[in-house]
């Protein structure tokens, strides 16, 4: 039986005290009179009810989230529109316990084993959601809830996270800087967020749970974006030497600038974090590389058992924009030749290449030797033929500089002696 004046939603949910307030919704505890259990009800802001496109997308995302049934995901029970108040609502599993944001506010940071437990359980929830085609897009401490009943960590706000990121400009939200600190660089650039964006957000949460600080401290969104592009956050084992260097590397990989440099899956991240807490590096030994997971990062080698002496911040090399190859220089304009110059060029003898002139002289020399051999043989034959009749042979000196003239005189001499 509901108390007099108590607000009833959809004829069954008796609304109670407020649990949280945001720019798009208010979360209250409620009693489901039909199933006789306590639930959490998220009431969407009244001004969103007039946006039919938003309402349609909200319904699709809520239906997708309702299909996720996993121990590390807050279960969505129901959603709809309350005709009496005109407000859209989501009914979820009620978690009695603090959020990650409340834990950080009250305790500052967590011990390594406790922080690793938060991260590992969150990875299990993300792995299940990603395998079912749903990306959270808003992983942050406020959306990680600790159930005090059994110590289970549950991811909240599946289903509405995509709507919030698409419909709300981050420059118009009051708590923009706190939320933007968990956005992957590709999300901040307005690109489509995939599973790797959730791993980046969880990497920021892991960094904060272990160190009590954000990986990037900034006073504005512009400064935050520049730091993401230009700097690698201080390694965790530099901030706190009690943190195993292998765990520092595992968290650092989740914070890689480009999605392809992060883990291939949430389960791979879980294994790396759990192993890192045991001092097991990415290669199964004690050696690891700080800053070695990104193309834009300079590498520093650190041994697991040695004190950290390297720089706290490793600068990234800024990405250079791709430039088109330089164009080939344009050929010089043709020079107009005067008629007189063309005539002189036509009358001038063509210069023979030196190699061709040498080849021509060599051929003429060989031809000369060949002819001389023939003429000598012919002369000898003539001498034999005439010597049988008379022994007189007519000789004369043949000396010329011109080879053609020598050949002519030799022919004449042979004819004179063979008559």
pLDDT tens-place string over residues 134-190 = 999 889 999 999 999 999 999 998 755 554 444 444 333 334 444 788 989 988 888
Specify the DSSP element, H or E, that contains 232: strand 231-232
The CA distances from residue 365 to 351, 369, 408, in Å, are 22, 6, 17
What would the pLDDT profile of 20-67 be if each residue is shown by its tens digit? 887 677 899 999 999 999 999 988 877 777 778 778 877 877 888 888
Q: Express each pLDDT in 378-408 by its tens digit.
A: 554 444 444 444 555 555 565 555 666 766 7
Q: Is the pTM of this model over 0.85?
A: no
* Res. 308: pLDDT tops 50: no
State yes or no: is 138 an active-site residue.
Answer: yes
Does residue 195 carry a pLDDT above 80? yes
C-alpha to C-alpha distances, 270 to 25, 122, 214, 237, 264, nearest whole angstrom? 31, 9, 20, 19, 11
Residue 217 or 199, more confident? 199
* Region(s) of the chain under CATH 1.10.510.10: 100-315
Q: What does the pLDDT average to over 191-212?
A: 94
d(CA 225, CA 232): 12
Q: Among residues 240, 301, 284, 264, which one has the least CA distance to residue 115? A: 240
Q: What is the predicted pLDDT for the residue at 372? A: 66
pLDDT bin (cut points 50, 70, 90) of residue 227 is confident
Q: Give 98-126 pLDDT, tens digit per residue.
A: 999 999 999 999 999 999 999 999 999 99
Q: Compute CA distances 290 → 243, 296, 301, 328, whole Å.
A: 14, 13, 6, 43
Name the one residue in this structure whose structure tokens are 């009833």.
8
**Catalytic residue among 32, 117, 138, 198, which?**
138
If one looks up domain 8-93 in CATH, what number appears? Answer: 3.30.200.20
Nearest to 161 by CA among 187, 186, 185: 187
CATH of domain 100-315: 1.10.510.10
Q: How many CB atoms lie within 10 A of CB 413?
A: 18
């Amino acid at each position: 039986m509901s108390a007099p004046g108590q607000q009833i939603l959809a004829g069954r949910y008796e609304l109670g005290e407020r649990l949280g307030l945001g720019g798009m919704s208010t979360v209250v505890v409620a009693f489901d009179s039909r199933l006789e259990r306590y639930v959490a009800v998220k009431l969407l802001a009244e001004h969103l009810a007039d946006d039919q496109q938003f309402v349609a997308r909200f319904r699709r995302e809520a239906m997708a989230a309702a299909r996720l049934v996993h121990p590390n995901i807050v279960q969505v029970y129901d959603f709809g529109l309350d005709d009496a108040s005109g407000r859209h609502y989501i009914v979820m599993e009620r978690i009695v316990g603090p959020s990650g944001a409340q834990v950080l506010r009250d305790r500052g940071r967590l011990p390594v084993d406790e922080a690793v437990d938060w991260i590992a359980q969150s990875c299990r929830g993300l792995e299940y959601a990603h395998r079912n085609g749903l990306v959270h897009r808003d992983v942050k401490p406020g959306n990680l809830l600790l159930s005090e009943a059994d110590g289970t960590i549950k991811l909240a706000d599946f289903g509405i996270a995509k709507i919030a990121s698409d419909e709300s400009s981050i420059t118009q939200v009051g708590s923009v800087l706190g939320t933007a600190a968990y956005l992957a660089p590709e999300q901040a650039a307005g690109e489509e967020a995939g599973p790797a964006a959730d791993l980046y957000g969880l990497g920021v949460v892991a960094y904060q749970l272990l160190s009590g600080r954000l990986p990037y401290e900034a006073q504005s969104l512009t400064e935050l974006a520049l730091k993401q592009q230009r700097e690698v956050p201080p390694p965790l084992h530099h901030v706190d030497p009690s943190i195993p260097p292998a765990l520092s590397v595992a968290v650092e990989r989740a914070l890689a600038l480009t999605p392809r440099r992060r883990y291939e899956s949430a389960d791979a991240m879980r294994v790396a974090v759990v192993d890192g807490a045991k001092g097991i590096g990415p290669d199964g030994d004690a050696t690891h590389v700080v800053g070695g997971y990104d193309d834009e990062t300079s590498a520093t080698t650190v041994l697991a058992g040695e004190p950290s002496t390297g720089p706290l911040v490793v600068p990234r090399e800024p990405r250079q924009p791709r430039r088109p190859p330089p164009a080939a220089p344009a050929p010089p304009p043709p020079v107009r030749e005067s008629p007189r110059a063309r005539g002189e060029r036509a009358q001038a003898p063509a210069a023979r290449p030196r190699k061709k002139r040498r080849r021509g002289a060599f051929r003429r020399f060989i031809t000369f030797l060949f002819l001389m051999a023939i003429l000598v043989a012919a002369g000898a034959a003539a001498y034999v033929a005439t010597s049988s009749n008379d022994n007189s042979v007519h000789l004369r000196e043949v000396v010329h500089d011109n080879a053609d003239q020598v050949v002519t005189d030799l022919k004449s001499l042979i004819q004179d002696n063979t008559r």
